[in-house]
Amino acid sequence: MNNSKLKGGYTTGASAAAGVKAALIYFTADKIVDAVEITALDGTPLKIPIKAVTKISADKIRVEVIKNSGDDPDITNGVSIFTTTKLIGGDEIIFRAGLGVGTVTKSGLQVAKGEPAINPGPRQLIKNVAAEFGVTGLEVEISIPAGVELAKKTLNPILGVEGGISVIGTTGVLRPMSEEAFKTSLVPQIDVAVAAGFKTLIFVPGKIGEVTALKLGFNPQSIVQTSNFIGHMLDAAAERNVAEIILCGHIGKLVKVAAGIFHTHNRVADGRLETLAAYSAAEGLNAVEVQKILNAATTEEAAEIISANNLNHVYKKIAARASLRAERYTFQKIRVGTILTNYAGEILGADDFAKELIAKLGDA
């Protein structure tokens, strides 16, 4: 595979978790370490170098970790991630946004409005580290000084994250995203599934779709990660005579397929809100509410508007359109069903063929 020479890395969230672990080692063993090992949420072991450990007070330690994205073209590669870890009483881990880490100001993101823009994955990594030491009460402040400027190169200001960047990462592992190499590296998943005898594959753009597919009871060996390259993977599946595919993933990705977009990275093409607005308008949503969807920061926020107007049935139509577009893309070589979810992995809508395959192949 072409990406065999590409080096992986670790996310900002994993960097922060490593900083917390170094601090807890200092607290418990009075020892300054130059590296720590943590376990990513997908089970991958990560060894992360520690640049500096500084004692602020008897109950507060500051640790610096240099973010290493490997061969991934990530804007945070090489920047300093600082965690200030404070021992507190009780059984709560409190997260704070330091310099360069944003605060969420709008609804619809994975973190509630008013909270530090530290996503659920990084929070869980830090909680796991604390559990290793039997620590239940912590205050963790994450600072990324370079994030003040880096945020201007992201969609954060539009999405409603102000003051810096987000601390992100679904699992903690950062895998190379060099486009051609990465696209090539994805295709063998199809070969393995076909070799195992699967005629129906579950295409998931990311972790949310994968978790949903597993909850529905689909065989893990039939699940194929597509990342943003849904069209590329559909072509590869057609070449291998795959008979049926379910597209399963977050509405923010798969609504683009309904609009005929098969490379779903936001810098390549977008139209999420416009598509949701158009389908909602076709179902009778008034102009004022349609404009609210168009003004929404995220598809999650738009979904709240759709739900408030009792239009959840629109998702089935969007799913059916995504399936139709995908079938046309393969010149009818593959029959396609679509399942749309939210961030929590809850199913918003599925077309009839997807429901048929859930009943036939799922066990949940």
User: Which residue among 127, 149, 174 closes a domain?
Assistant: 174
173 versus 364: which is more confidently predicted? 173
Is residue 150 one of the residues assigned to a domain? yes
Cβ atoms of 306 and 280 closer than 8 Å: yes
- pLDDT by residue (tens digit) across 61-112? 999 999 987 666 578 889 999 999 999 989 999 999 999 999 998 877 788 8
Helix spans in the chain (H): 12-29, 120-132, 147-150, 156-159, 179-186, 188-195, 207-215, 230-239, 251-258, 272-282, 287-295, 299-308, 314-329, 352-361
Tell me, yes or no, whether 15 and 40 share the same domain. yes
In this structure, the answer to whether residues 78 and 136 fall within a common structural domain is yes
| Spatial separation of the C-alpha atoms in residues 298 and 252, rounded to whole Å | 8
Which whole number is the average pLDDT over 274-278?
98
Q: In the predicted model, what is the mean pLDDT of the chain?
A: 91
Specify the pLDDT at position 364.
42
* pLDDT over 90 percentage in the chain: 77
Looking at the fold, whether 146 and 191 belong to one and the same domain comes out as no
State which amino acid sits at residue 88.
I
- Interval 253-267: pLDDT, tens: 999 999 999 999 888
Looking at 132, 153, 174, the residue that finishes a domain is 174
Average pLDDT over residues 150-174: 83
The reported pLDDT for the residue numbered 180 is 66
Residue 69 has a pLDDT of: 79
Predicted local distance difference test score (pLDDT) of residue 178: 52
Q: How many domains does the chain have?
A: 2
In a domain, 262, yes or no: yes
Q: What is the model's pLDDT at position 176? A: 55
| 181 assigned to some structural domain | no
Q: Are strands 200-204 and 244-250 parallel, antiparallel or unpaired?
A: parallel
Residues with Cβ within 8 Å of 256's Cβ and at least 6 positions away in sequence, in order, are: 264, 269, 270, 271, 272, 275
CATH number at residue 19: 3.30.2110.10
Q: pTM higher than 0.75, yes or no?
A: no
Tokens representing 186 are 């994805």
- Residue 306: the pLDDT is 97
Q: 245 phi and psi, to 5 degrees?
A: -140, 140
Q: What pLDDT digit, counting tens, does each position of 281-304 carry?
A: 999 999 999 999 999 989 999 999
pLDDT on residue 3? 43
pLDDT the model gives residue 171: 78
Boundary-marking domain end, from 149, 174, 199 = 174
CA distances from 174 to 41, 143, 154, 225 (A): 12, 20, 18, 15
In the prediction, which pLDDT does 106 show? 82
Domain that holds residue 66: 2-174
Query: Of 20-24, 110-114, 217-221, 345-349, which range is least confident?
Result: 110-114
In a domain, 180, yes or no: no
Q: Is residue 179 part of a domain?
A: no
At residue 155, does pLDDT exceed 90?
Answer: no
pLDDT at position 89:
85
